[in-house]
């Protein structure tokens, strides 16, 4: 369970829930630095809201997500992959949607507590 309490990082900065922060994450040889918002502690680990890197299908011209099963018609049609008929059906099925970055926030748990206050 998350506790919304202040956190003091390794360089002595006291970070309050809601403060803008720099978040440093590391996973399998990859390090990312991004801007985020401190939300609290989960056990002994810091949690922050950061932009998601995920992509998804949306209804063109809106922020409405495509239905989860919108492509079932294509994959259950019985047509052979990469035939002209399949390609035509694929264009019909995908026409109302666009694939783009979701621009949502997600909460990340930082096991190394590498979080630094901005400004």
Distance CA 29, CA 58 (A): 32
Report domain 1-53+104-119's class.
mainly beta
- Spatial separation of the C-alpha atoms in residues 115 and 21, rounded to whole Å: 6
Cα 3 from Cα 12, distance rounded (Å): 20
pTM over 0.85: no
For the chain, residues classed under CATH 2.30.30 are 1-53+104-119
pLDDT at 45: 95
Could you give the dihedral angle defined by the CA atoms of residues 23, 28, 29 and 33, in that order, rounded to the nearest 10 degrees?
-10
27 pLDDT more than 90: no
pLDDT at 29 over 90: no
Confidence class for position 114, pLDDT limits 50, 70, 90: very high
pLDDT tens, residue by residue, 40-99? 999 999 999 999 889 999 999 999 999 999 999 898 989 998 899 999 999 999 999 999
């Amino acid at each position: 369970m998350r506790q919304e309490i202040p956190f003091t990082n390794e360089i002595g900065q006291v970070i309050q829930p809601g403060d803008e922060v720099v978040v440093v994450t590391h996973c399998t040889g990859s390090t990312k630095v991004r801007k985020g918002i401190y939300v609290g502690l989960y056990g002994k680990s810091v949690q922050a809201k950061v932009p998601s890197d995920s992509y998804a299908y949306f209804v063109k011209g809106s922020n409405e997500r495509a239905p989860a099963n919108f492509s079932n018609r294509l994959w259950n049609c019985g047509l052979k992959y990469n035939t002209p008929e399949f390609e035509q059906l694929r264009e019909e099925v995908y026409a109302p949607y666009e694939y783009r970055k979701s621009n949502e926030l997600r909460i990340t748990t930082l096991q190394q507590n590498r979080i630094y206050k901005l400004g």
